């Protein structure tokens, strides 16, 4: 039964469907590489994941984004900064927040607010 729906059989159909769709809807492409960023934010909220593990996993998402040539999503570098801050690495906290601000100037006021509030060590 499964061979009815094998990828080989469906590929030309999918192609035709995409072509047909372009008449009314452009075939969508994601703007960002997400990896498991949102799942990690949820794990952070639920305290299921420590900052060290979070950092490792987010750096992995960043590497994969680079390999795919896609930007990382809004908030990812800032979240990474938060995790660095929690491990006491204030230089990387600041660096990550500035990277967020550079990638997304919309965050400038908030990043400045956060950097001003964090005492230098």
Q: Please list every residue from 83 through 102 that binds other proteins, using CB under 8 A.
A: 100
Of 23 and 121, CB closest to other proteins: 23
b (16+ CB within 10 A) / e for 68-98: eeeebbeebbbbbbbbbbeeebeebbbebbe
Contact flag: residue 73 with other proteins (CB under 8 A):
yes
The closest alpha carbon to 86, from 53, 42, 61, belongs to 53
Q: Please list every residue from 19 through 48 that binds other proteins, using CB under 8 A.
A: 20-21, 24-26, 28-32, 34-39, 41-46
CA 4 to centroid of chain Cα atoms = 36
Q: Give the footprint of other proteins on this chain (CB under 8 A).
A: 3-6, 9-10, 12-13, 16-17, 20-21, 24-26, 28-32, 34-39, 41-46, 73-76, 78-79, 81-82, 100, 104, 106-110, 113-114
């Amino acid at each position: 039964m499964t061979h009815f729906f094998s990828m080989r059989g469906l590929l030309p159909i999918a192609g035709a469907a995409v072509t047909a769709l372009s008449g009314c809807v452009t075939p969508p492409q994601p703007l960002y590489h997400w990896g498991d960023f949102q799942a990690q934010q949820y794990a952070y909220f639920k305290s299921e994941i420590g900052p060290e593990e979070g950092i490792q996993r987010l750096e992995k998402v960043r590497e994969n984004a680079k390999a795919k040539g896609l930007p990382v999503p809004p908030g990812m570098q800032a979240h990474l900064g938060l995790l660095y801050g929690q491990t006491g690495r204030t230089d990387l906290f600041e660096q990550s927040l500035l990277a967020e601000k550079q990638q997304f100037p919309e965050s400038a006021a908030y990043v400045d607010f956060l950097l001003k509030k964090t005492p230098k060590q």
